[in-house]
Amino acid sequence: MDSKYLKELLLDVKNGKKDIDGALNELKRLPFEDLGFVKVDHHRNLRNGYPEVIYCPGKTLEQIKQIIKKLMESNSNIMATRADEKVYEAIKEITRDVVYHKEAKIVAVKRIKVPKTKKMVAVLTAGTSDIPVAEEAAITCEIMGNWVERVYDVGVAGIHRLFAQSDTILRANVLVVVAGMEGALASVVGGLVDRPVIAVPTSIGYGANFGGLSALLSMLNSCAAGVGVVNIDNGFGAGFLASMINKS
């Protein structure tokens, strides 16, 4: 339930198209709706600017379908993360307005077009192996209505590749930097720009990478000012945060 939906409901009451009891029944569902296995947060769009996002692992296909159905009653665009093709096929049974972003593992129900921002979010990766996490961030930003440009495979092992993309990097309003191994790229980018840098450590790397822990610690210890860090492989969190900053 977004602010537009709420305004229309109140106008319907004002103009006599809906009675007070009918409107009251809809407002009773506003905080959340208890389906037994889940409490669907209908209020999230009003609080955070985007409907509740479904994290798919650990949920059955039937549970995901029921959540989607409920969210669709009062939201136009919905996102499901870490989704496989089985999730996509299940959601297609509910609506045709669905797109599967395979590399990002995001299923998006899109029933209205969201205007793009004039300010740009740049999503960078150190290596090609980091792209799935970067795509999760980039697609999240795009679904939320942001202009996104991708700068992939520009890690410190060949830093001249990064400098060759300086025009894009310096035009960005927010930068999401995705890196595994030792995670050095975030510090390098942070030292080049006067914009917020959201660092995303990935689990890409050999044994001493400890599944992304070394990259996480390097990013947390960055000497570059203006670098914030999200959790390991959390492309969605980085994309959502980038969108909030870009639209502020």
In the predicted model, is pLDDT for residue 172 greater than 80?
yes
Read off the amino acid at residue 170: L
Length of the chain: 248
22-70 pLDDT tens trace: 777 766 666 665 566 665 565 556 565 666 788 999 999 999 998 888 8
Rounded Cα distance, 73 and 40, in Å = 12
Do residues 215 and 227 lie in contact, with contact meaning Cβ atoms separated by under 8 Å? no
Phi, psi dihedral angles at 12 (to 5 degrees): -65, -40
Q: What single DSSP character describes residue 19?
A: -
Q: What single DSSP character describes residue 1?
A: -
Number of Cβ within 10 Å of residue 4's Cβ equals: 11
In the predicted model, is pLDDT for residue 171 greater than 70?
yes
Rounded Cα distance, 76 and 1, in Å = 9
Cα–Cα distance list, 55 to 37, 77, 194 (Å): 14, 15, 33
Q: What is the pLDDT of residue 200?
A: 98
Within 8 A by CB and 6+ apart from 81, the residues are: 53, 54, 55, 56, 105, 106, 136, 140, 236
Q: Quick one: which H or E segment has residue 94? A: none
Q: Where are the domains of the chain?
A: 3-110, 120-246
Do residues 84 and 119 lie in contact, with contact meaning Cβ atoms separated by under 8 Å? no
Q: What is the pLDDT of residue 26?
A: 66
103-125 pLDDT tens trace: 999 999 887 788 889 999 999 99
Report the Cα 140 to chain-centroid distance in Å: 3
Rounded Cα distance, 81 and 52, in Å = 11
Helices (H), the chain: 3-14, 20-28, 44-48, 61-72, 85-92, 131-143, 160-163, 166-171, 185-190, 213-220, 235-246
Mean pLDDT comparison of 41-55, 71-85, 183-197, highest-scoring range: 183-197
Tell me the average pLDDT of the chain.
87
**Does pTM surpass 0.75?**
yes
Q: What is the pLDDT of residue 76?
A: 67
In 147-168, which positions are buried (b, 16+ CB within 10 angstroms) versus exposed (e)? bbebbbbbbbeeeeebeeeeee
Domain 120-246 maps to which CATH number in 3.40.50.1000, 3.50.50.60, 3.40.50.1970, 2.40.10.10? 3.40.50.1970
